[in-house]
Amino acid sequence: MSTTIGHMLDEAIERGDIEAVTAALREIPRGQRASLAPALRERARVLREQDDPQVPWEDKQPQRDREFATGAALFVCGTARDAAGAFLRADDAAALAREFDPPSLEGLGEAMMALPRVTLNYLNPFIESGLVPRPDDEAHTQMMMDLPTYAGWAKKVSMEAYVQGDPTLHDVILRVMEIEGTSDASLASVDKYRRDAWSIFFASPWSQSHFGRDLLLDKTLDALEKDWPQFRSGWFSRFHERLGPTPDELGARLPRYLALCRSRIPPTVGLALKALEKIDASVSIQGHDLLDALAPVMHAAAKGQVESAMKLAERRLRVEPALADQVARLLVDALGHADAGVQAKAIKRLSGIALDDTLRATLATYLPGIAASNRPALVTLVALSPAVERQPVDVFIETTKLPEPCDASRELPRIDDADTLAERVAYVFANDTDIDAFEAVLAALTRMAPLGATVRARLAPVAKRLSRQRKPIAQALAQVVAMLLDLPAPHYARMVDNYGEHADIDLQVLHRVVDTVATARHGAGLEPLDAATHRGGFIDPGRLAQRIAAHGAAGVPWERRTAVRALLRLPSAAPMPDEFAALPASSLRQAFGHALGGALDPGEPDSALMAAAARIRHPGADDPLMLARLGDLGPDTTRAPVISWHIETRQSQVDGKTYTFHDFILDDDCAPEGADPLLIALHRHQPSAFKPRYASHRWGYAGIDEALVRYSATLLPSCMDTFFAGGCRLVGNNLGWYEAQWQNRAYLFPLLEPTVTPGPMGTLLLALALAGKEPGQTALAVDGLAQSSLEGRIDLNRLGTDMSALLASDHVLAARYAKALAAAARTAPGMLPVVTGLLEVLIGARPEDPPRDTSALLALLHESLLESGGRIGENTRAVLPSLKLSGRGAALRKALLA
């Protein structure tokens, strides 16, 4: 090949001219083209490195043209793998394929599917151009989940029109109903944002005609039988309803619907019950088969499903009286439901059945747990004397003295041997959310440095795993271990949320790594000043004084950044340790003494150290002395943050429908721009420069990783207001679980700690979380309410006020509060007066226009009062008559006022 031809191709690529590239390739013999591939690969690599992500897309056209020209040349000269990874438009490739028939066509489809992030937008045009066949594997099926987006955005047509026009899809598209999918790509997740595109397509007349209703219905039941998680299996339940099977279609699949009653997914059970009701209305179902299928439904949490099952059993009993004993046993199981209404209906049905002594004895065992309003009827049913009825419970509970933050029982275990160190490092890698273990390991690593031969040998197995850590806290520990073992430090990959934001706390974690390694490399057997000594991130003042003295004795200067972190971890109102008097004068000693309530040492105060000390001396309040000396440095410095909240309502219209949204707005002090980075507590607040990109965009200091959230709770453990405020912002805007934010539960764990006083923001967080939809998160809130109440750590009056304000704003649902408070009441006898008091406050939240589900609160109040033998308060008695209630609510009001 002449240098002229090579020069022609190079110039064509540099101009980004595809036609010129094609002309240059024509001049190159087919057998010589492969020799150009290495140079073209290198050219493509360089172009990728030159790509600046900060340059706007519209300014990158010359760069893009060069990349496409290089991709075209690679398509003709390179392998299938080269072509798959190149910048290449399908139209360009199709024209080049017609002219050159390049060897890269062989295996191109497989090479494309092997790419790490191949998308349908990239692959489909090559299929449509006939360059590659449509793949026949699960990876492609997974990719097809996003077909509605491709059809609508890339082709500007409906799903039905696109599929009809592409025969290659007809034999494979039903496979999307055969796989579960992922959190990002499943039928449910796509339809959530694509207006039910998949459901509408499969239910369309074309699909029903082409694929057949029987096949669509059978594939739906196939998927439901696999018990995929509720979000994903819920799509098939909804599609089944959209498809609207006839009684004949349902009856032909009776065994399958009977079997679905045993599903662990509530919507699937609901679907099965509706199908059985329709089948039983037209064709009699064999009694024993039906009752066997209904048995697990009696233990369902959804009261509507239990009631439907009881109706089906009662209907079958009227047809087959011989089934009375089996029906009675089913109804007995229904008494275990938490809802008093379900229990009452079960008791009423049981009263019409002749019960033997065995069943009566079984019924008697339910008396302790039955709702108080149903207990007299059950006593009558089992033919017991009223004397056996349980008396009102004693609601008094004696609490034990709570431990102090630096109590000996809360001290972190000391690690002094190589075997334990290696085991604990491996433990943190597997359990990165255990911040106490992380702290103990950091202290041990610096204390045992330089690491001797024995320690290095014991750490050798975990050293092989350093580069494989993917979570931030585990990566931070891996970096420390690597540097102390003289190995290359693995990369700390900062996590990015859905809005492209990094967590600000990452910088603190990275600084902690650097400072910990710096202390360890002095090799003086020192512990870092900032390593926690007790659970929850606390540092015992005596231990801190010992560490400062040890640094001085070893001739190792303390770092300001490490000292700030150490001061922030001191407990408030702790006595001055004996070791303090022997410390030499320094800005750290001055701040240390001020933090613990001592007189201010002479000398010019260090602003960063004194701001940290101010937060310990005056947790949750301003420090007047430091405000006068240093001025207002921002929230959580010389003064406390000022935080309030309100609810904003906004509306949007989609397809002629108006949707109303309630946003929880946290009016927080902002961190001023350009503030000293050593004001660590200050930078936990939202930066003043932060601008949300969307209405749903919320700032979060700890980001989206649970371990980072837990670590952030240990930065200032003596005053958690700012930490809890961050939780309020995130939990408060995801009560309906619109997005799976599992990390948010980490904001609730400190409420379970006996050393934590929730304060105003912790109380507000609890008020929000008790109204959440996600069961696990709500369960944590219930536990937090019970423990903080019984231990006397929470202001219940403030909690009631916050819950009432949230309910009045329409931001929360009364039914969710009722469900959570009912669970709290069952945790311990002492919770009954707490729950009763909160209920009475909630009922008066909006007397002029009570929420629609107020009856749920009234029902729980009625049961609680019957259980405790109490009566409603005077304020509630005055409010109840003014409430606009009907039906069940009106009946409950009458019972409460009686």
3-state helix, strand, coil in the chain (%, to 5): 60, 5, 35
pLDDT at 49: 85
Residue corresponding to tokens 């002090």: 669
Cα separation, 786 vs 781, whole angstroms: 9
pLDDT at 76: 96
**Over the stretch 796-833, which tens digit does the pLDDT of each residue have?**
999 999 999 999 999 999 999 999 999 999 988 889 99
**CB atoms closer than 10 angstroms to residue 736:** 13
Q: Is the dihedral of CA 101, 106, 107, 111 positive or negative?
A: negative
> Residue 512 above 60 pLDDT?
yes
**Over the stretch 644-676, which tens digit does the pLDDT of each residue have?**
999 998 888 877 788 888 899 999 889 999 999
User: If DSSP codes are grouped into helix, strand and coil, which group holds residue 178?
Assistant: coil
| Cα separation values, 94 from 75, 89, 108, 123, 339, Å | 10, 9, 13, 13, 66
Cα separation, 83 vs 86, whole angstroms: 5
Mean pLDDT for the chain overall = 92
> Residue 53 above 70 pLDDT?
no
HEC profile of 233-247:
HHHHHHHHHHHCCCH
Strand partners, 644: 667
HEC profile of 30-88:
HHHHHHHHHHHHHHHHHHHHHCCCCCCHHHCHHHHHHHHHHHHHHHHHCCHHHHHHCCC
Cα separation, 572 vs 617, whole angstroms: 6
DSSP string, 248-260: HHHHTTHHHHHHH
Per-residue pLDDT band for 394 (boundaries 50, 70, 90) equals very low
DSSP 531: S
Strand partners, 666: 645
pLDDT at 350: 93
> Residue 254 above 60 pLDDT?
yes
> Residue 630 above 90 pLDDT?
yes
pLDDT at 180: 94
C-beta of residue 201 within 8 angstroms of C-beta of residue 163:
yes
C-beta of residue 572 within 8 angstroms of C-beta of residue 607:
no
Cα separation, 246 vs 741, whole angstroms: 40
**Over the stretch 518-532, which tens digit does the pLDDT of each residue have?**
999 998 899 999 999
User: If DSSP codes are grouped into helix, strand and coil, which group holds residue 29?
Assistant: coil
Cα separation, 664 vs 640, whole angstroms: 22
Tell me the mean pLDDT in the region 88-95: 95
User: If DSSP codes are grouped into helix, strand and coil, which group holds residue 736?
Assistant: coil
**Over the stretch 127-152, which tens digit does the pLDDT of each residue have?**
999 999 999 899 999 999 999 999 99
pLDDT at 390: 39
> Residue 207 above 70 pLDDT?
yes
**Over the stretch 714-731, which tens digit does the pLDDT of each residue have?**
999 999 999 999 999 999
> Residue 389 above 90 pLDDT?
no
Cα separation, 666 vs 646, whole angstroms: 7
pLDDT at 715: 97
Which of 97-106, 182-191, 474-483, 566-575 is predicted with the least confidence, judged by mean pLDDT? 182-191
**Over the stretch 296-350, which tens digit does the pLDDT of each residue have?**
999 998 999 999 999 999 999 999 999 999 999 999 999 999 888 999 999 999 9
Report the percent of the chain where pLDDT is more than 90: 80
pTM of the model: 0.80
- Tell which residue, 766, 828, 774, 776, has the closest CA to residue 803: 766
Cα separation, 663 vs 695, whole angstroms: 9
DSSP 661: E
Per-residue pLDDT band for 387 (boundaries 50, 70, 90) equals very low
Residue corresponding to tokens 């509605």: 148
> Residue 58 above 80 pLDDT?
no
Tell me the mean pLDDT in the region 568-587: 95
CA-only gyration radius of the chain, Å: 34
- How many residues in the chain? 898
pLDDT at 391: 40
> Residue 54 above 80 pLDDT?
no
DSSP 195: T
pLDDT at 392: 41
Residues near 749 by beta carbon (within 8 Å), at least 6 away in sequence: 710, 713, 780
Per-residue pLDDT band for 384 (boundaries 50, 70, 90) equals low
> Residue 460 above 60 pLDDT?
yes
User: If DSSP codes are grouped into helix, strand and coil, which group holds residue 169?
Assistant: helix
Please enumerate, as own/partner, the contacts of 683-688 that have beta carbons within 8 Å and a separation of 24 or more. 683/504, 684/504, 684/636, 684/712, 684/715, 684/716, 684/722, 684/723, 684/726, 685/634, 685/635, 685/636, 685/641, 685/722, 687/504
Residue corresponding to tokens 């943190």: 428
C-beta of residue 535 within 8 angstroms of C-beta of residue 489:
no
> Residue 396 above 60 pLDDT?
no
Tell me the mean pLDDT in the region 607-615: 97
- Tell which residue, 738, 336, 764, has the closest CA to residue 747: 764
> Residue 409 above 60 pLDDT?
yes
> Residue 55 above 80 pLDDT?
no
Q: What's the token pair of residue 448? A: 């045992």
Per-residue pLDDT band for 4 (boundaries 50, 70, 90) equals low
Tell me the mean pLDDT in the region 567-588: 95
